[in-house]
């Protein structure tokens, strides 16, 4: 695949050192194309009413896009795993933070003023 060609390329272009990983141009352009297509898709999907599913689809597409950026534009796929571990750890803490906050706030809803919360529809 492209991994081999880019490795060979970095060999030929920079024989004096082994620092970093050079991304091949076709891979960069392909990732860019995928990101652009996914952006159009995520806008198009909002025209279809799927209820709650819309949010999950939008977030799934955003996560695919973010992964593409991380893995290829940010070279995470070709680097030492420690960098990815640092970043993913931060994401896990974000997940913990947001989900605990949501669980907490969910406990208060029925006591709110009528009409202010989804648990109690307006009159």
Partner 1 sequence: MIGSETEPPAPDAAVHPPHLAHHFSSPQQQFESGKLGMWVFLATEILFFSGLFCAYAVYRANHPDIFVYAHHFLDKILGGVNTLVLICSSLTMAWAVRCAQLSRRRGLIALLSLTLCFAFCFLGIKFVEYDHKWKHGLLWGKHFQPQESAGEPGSAAKTRESRQKADKQEAAIGPATPAPAGAAPAGSRDERSQIPPAAIGPRGLARTHPTQSIEKTPPKNVQVFFGIYFMMTGLHALHVIAGMIMLGWLLARSVRGDFSSAYFTPVDLGGLYWHLVDLIWIYLFPLLYLIH
Q: Within 34-63, which residues bind partner 1 (CB under 8 A)?
A: 35-36, 39-40, 42-43, 46, 49-51, 54-55, 58-59, 61-62
Number of residues that bind partner 1 (CB under 8 A): 74
Interacting residues with partner 1 between 78 and 97 (CB under 8 A)? 78-80, 82-83, 86-87, 89-91, 93-94, 97
Would you say 38 and 30 are in contact if contact means Cβ atoms under 8 Å apart?
no
Tell the smallest beta-carbon distance from residue 86 to partner 1 (Å): 5
Told to check if 18 binds partner 1 by CB under 8 A, we report yes
Would you say 20 and 6 are in contact if contact means Cβ atoms under 8 Å apart?
no
Tell the smallest beta-carbon distance from residue 36 to partner 1 (Å): 6
Told to check if 14 binds partner 1 by CB under 8 A, we report yes
Q: DSSP strand E in the chain: where?
A: none
Told to check if 3 binds partner 1 by CB under 8 A, we report no
Nearest to 87 by CA among 62, 61, 60, 69: 69
Quote the CA–CA distance of 38 and 36 in Å, as a whole number: 5
Q: How far is CA 23 from CA 7, 20, 27, 113, in A?
A: 8, 10, 7, 56
Which residue among 5, 20, 26, 77 contacts partner 1 (CB under 8 A)?
20
């Amino acid at each position: 695949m492209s991994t081999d060609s880019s490795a060979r390329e970095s060999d030929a272009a920079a024989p004096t050192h082994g620092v970093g990983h050079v991304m091949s141009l076709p891979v960069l352009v392909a990732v860019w194309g995928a990101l652009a297509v996914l952006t159009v898709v995520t806008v198009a999907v909002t025209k279809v009413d799927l209820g709650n599913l819309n949010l999950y689809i939008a977030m799934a597409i955003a996560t695919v896009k973010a992964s593409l950026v991380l893995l290829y534009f940010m070279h995470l796929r070709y680097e030492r795993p420690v960098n990815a571990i640092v970043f993913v750890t931060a994401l896990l803490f974000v997940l913990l933070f947001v989900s605990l906050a949501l669980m907490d706030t969910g406990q208060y809803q029925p006591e709110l003023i009528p009409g202010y919360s989804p648990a109690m529809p307006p009159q």
